């Protein structure tokens, strides 16, 4: 799910090598370099922004923390990896606490410094593979890099990291399970919480505190009131929650950069929220979930889901789709759409959510994070 990003993340931000050791990252770099050799790419320029930082985090375990900030990882086919980030020299020590990369370079003239680094390391005589540069980098900076490397052949290399990141390692799966336990904790706490103020922003503050206390690095919260009129998931506002309101709550939490998400539907009481009985919707959700398995394409799972929805004669709300991959970014490949022919494999992590119209509540939404194992899709966010 796409959400607004806070200006600064303020949760638990650290690197625990027992969860994600340096050897894990070195193994990833080795695999990337093997792919580079196959495709005759001499150096890989991997760019990320704070709102989509999964690629450099996959390689270097770090993210641009300031909103809109950018960073690049430079990987030669042979040799040391470098991290160049838009920021101050005083930030180097803090950055090195999070990353295994030794060569950390702060920059105030990001594009020029990337080109200069490539020149200094004699990497401008080879083919350069660009990952997410054209799509995420500010246009003016990208033009400076293209001009500074015009003697090289520049090729799109997004597919190298996209393919590797779709199937998670055992350690990555463990990280997402940890994030999922935070989601489960928050969801489970909602019906037990007495709200001193039935206000959206107060509810957000309560949920945010629960997430931080449970170890969340970052937390995203969206809500919707689907009863009566048009509605959409949105950030909480300074608005009253009235008794009898139906409330859809979307929660996403990250643990050491890895995300999980969940969606539930509630009904407001005088000073609390309760979960209504949604037996039919939950049974429908389960039937579709059981069809999401390794060995099928994403589009096949989507078409089977649509068939089941039509057979069940529910009024499906397609606005938010059915889901996609999740990991270091909230939205990753593959996408559960009719157009995505990606073969689902064991070790993939997906989100699966369902929105349907309801005569009493206006709409119902259910959503979870799933692990694709050999026996099918395991629910990781199964809080009540």
Residue 53 lies in a domain: yes
Q: How far, in Å, CA of 200 to CA of 180, rounded?
A: 23
- Is pLDDT above 50 for 189? yes
Predicted TM-score of the model (pTM): 0.94
How many structural domains does the chain have? 2
Domain boundary among 143, 165, 187: 165
- Is pLDDT above 60 for 11? yes
Q: Per-residue pLDDT tens for 279-307?
A: 999 999 999 999 999 999 999 999 999 99
Q: Are residues 114 and 231 in the same domain?
A: no
- Is pLDDT above 50 for 126? yes
Q: Which residues contact 267 (CB under 8 A, 6 or more apart)?
A: 244, 245, 246, 247, 273, 274, 275, 276, 361
Residues of the chain with pLDDT > 90, as a percent, come to: 89
- Is pLDDT above 80 for 3? no
Confidence at residue 13, expressed as pLDDT on a 0 to 100 scale: 84
- Burial (CB count <10 Å: 0-12, 13-18, 19+), residue 228: exposed
Residue 15 lies in a domain: no
SS3 361: coil
Q: Per-residue pLDDT tens for 51-77?
A: 899 999 999 999 886 656 799 999 999
Q: Are residues 210 and 118 in the same domain?
A: no
Residue 177 tokens read as 């399970």
Residue 213 lies in a domain: yes
Q: How far, in Å, CA of 14 to CA of 190, rounded?
A: 28
Q: Are residues 152 and 193 in the same domain?
A: no
State how beta strands 376-379 and 362-373 pair: antiparallel
Q: Are residues 319 and 374 in the same domain?
A: yes
- Quick one: how far is CA 5 from the chain centroid? 12
Q: Are residues 100 and 236 in the same domain?
A: no
CATH of residue 84: 3.40.350.10
Cis status of the peptide bond prior to 334, with omega within 30 of 0: yes
Residue 302 lies in a domain: yes
Q: Per-residue pLDDT tens for 26-46?
A: 999 999 999 999 999 999 999
Q: H helices then E strands: how many in the chain?
A: 11, 15
Q: Are residues 144 and 227 in the same domain?
A: no
Q: Per-residue pLDDT tens for 205-218?
A: 999 999 999 999 99
Contact between 74 and 124 under an 8 Å Cβ cutoff? The reply is no
Domain boundary among 135, 165, 195: 165
Confidence at residue 139, expressed as pLDDT on a 0 to 100 scale: 95
Q: Are residues 268 and 137 in the same domain?
A: no
Q: How far, in Å, CA of 11 to CA of 24, rounded?
A: 24
Range of the domain at 243: 170-379
Q: Angle at Cα 286 formed by Cα 283 and Cα 292, nearest 5°?
A: 155
Q: Are residues 222 and 345 in the same domain?
A: yes
Residue 16 lies in a domain: no
SS3 172: helix
Residue 384 lies in a domain: no
CATH of residue 333: 3.90.230.10
pLDDT tier at 384, thresholds 50, 70, 90:
very low
Domain boundary among 149, 165, 181: 165
Q: Determine the average pLDDT of the residues in 233-246.
A: 96
Residue 84 lies in a domain: yes
Q: Are residues 38 and 159 in the same domain?
A: yes
Average pLDDT of every residue of the chain: 94
Residue 328 tokens read as 């270091």
- Is pLDDT above 90 for 351? yes
- Is pLDDT above 70 for 2? no
Confidence at residue 5, expressed as pLDDT on a 0 to 100 scale: 62
Contact between 357 and 183 under an 8 Å Cβ cutoff? The reply is no
Q: Are residues 160 and 180 in the same domain?
A: no
Q: Are residues 180 and 147 in the same domain?
A: no
Q: How far, in Å, CA of 47 to CA of 52, rounded?
A: 10
Q: Are residues 222 and 135 in the same domain?
A: no
Residue 383 tokens read as 């809080």
- Burial (CB count <10 Å: 0-12, 13-18, 19+), residue 121: middle
> Checking phi first, is residue 157 left (phi over 0); if not, alpha (psi -120 to 50) or beta?
alpha
Residue 255 lies in a domain: yes
Contact between 175 and 19 under an 8 Å Cβ cutoff? The reply is yes
């Amino acid at each position: 799910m796409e959400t607004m990003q806070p200006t600064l993340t303020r949760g638990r931000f650290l690197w625990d090598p027992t969860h994600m050791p340096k050897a894990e990252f070195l193994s990833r770099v080795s695999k990337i370099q093997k792919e580079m050799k196959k495709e005759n790419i001499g150096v890989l320029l991997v760019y990320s922004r704070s709102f989509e930082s999964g690629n450099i985090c996959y390689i270097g375990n770090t993210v641009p923390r300031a909103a809109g900030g950018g960073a690049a990882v430079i990987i030669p086919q042979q040799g040391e990896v470098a991290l160049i980030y838009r920021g101050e020299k005083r930030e180097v020590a803090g950055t090195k606490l999070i990353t295994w990369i030794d060569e950390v370079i702060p920059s105030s003239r990001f594009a020029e410094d990337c080109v200069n680094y490539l020149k200094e390391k004699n990497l401008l005589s080879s083919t350069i593979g660009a990952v997410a540069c054209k799509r995420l980098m500010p246009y003016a900076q990208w033009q400076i890099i293209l001009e500074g490397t015009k003697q090289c052949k520049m090729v799109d290399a997004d597919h190298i990291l996209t393919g590797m990141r779709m199937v998670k390692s055992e350690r990555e799966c463990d990280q997402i399970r940890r994030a999922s336990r935070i989601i489960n904790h928050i969801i489970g706490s909602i019906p037990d919480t007495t709200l001193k103020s039935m206000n959206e922003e107060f509810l957000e503050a309560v949920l945010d505190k629960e997430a931080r206390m449970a170890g969340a690095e970052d937390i995203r919260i969206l809500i919707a009131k689907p009863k009566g009129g048009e509605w959409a998931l949105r950030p909480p506002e300074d608005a009253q929650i009235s008794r009898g309101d139906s409330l859809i709550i979307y929660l996403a939490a990250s643990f050491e950069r890895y995300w999980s998400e969940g969606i539930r539907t509630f009904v407001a009481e005088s000073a609390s929220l309760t979960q209504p009985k949604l037996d039919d919707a939950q049974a429908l959700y389960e039937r579709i979930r059981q069809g999401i398995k390794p060995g099928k394409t994403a589009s096949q799972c989507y078409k089977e889901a649509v068939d089941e929805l039509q057979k069940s004669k529910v009024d499906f709300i397609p606005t938010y789709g059915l889901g996609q991959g999740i990991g270091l970014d909230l939205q990753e490949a593959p996408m559960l759409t009719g157009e995505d022919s990606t073969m689902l494999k064991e070790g993939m992590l997906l989100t699966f959510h369902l929105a349907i119209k309801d005569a009493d509540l206006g709409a119902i939404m259910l959503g979870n994070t799933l692990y694709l194992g050999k026996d099918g899709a395991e629910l990781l966010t199964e809080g009540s």
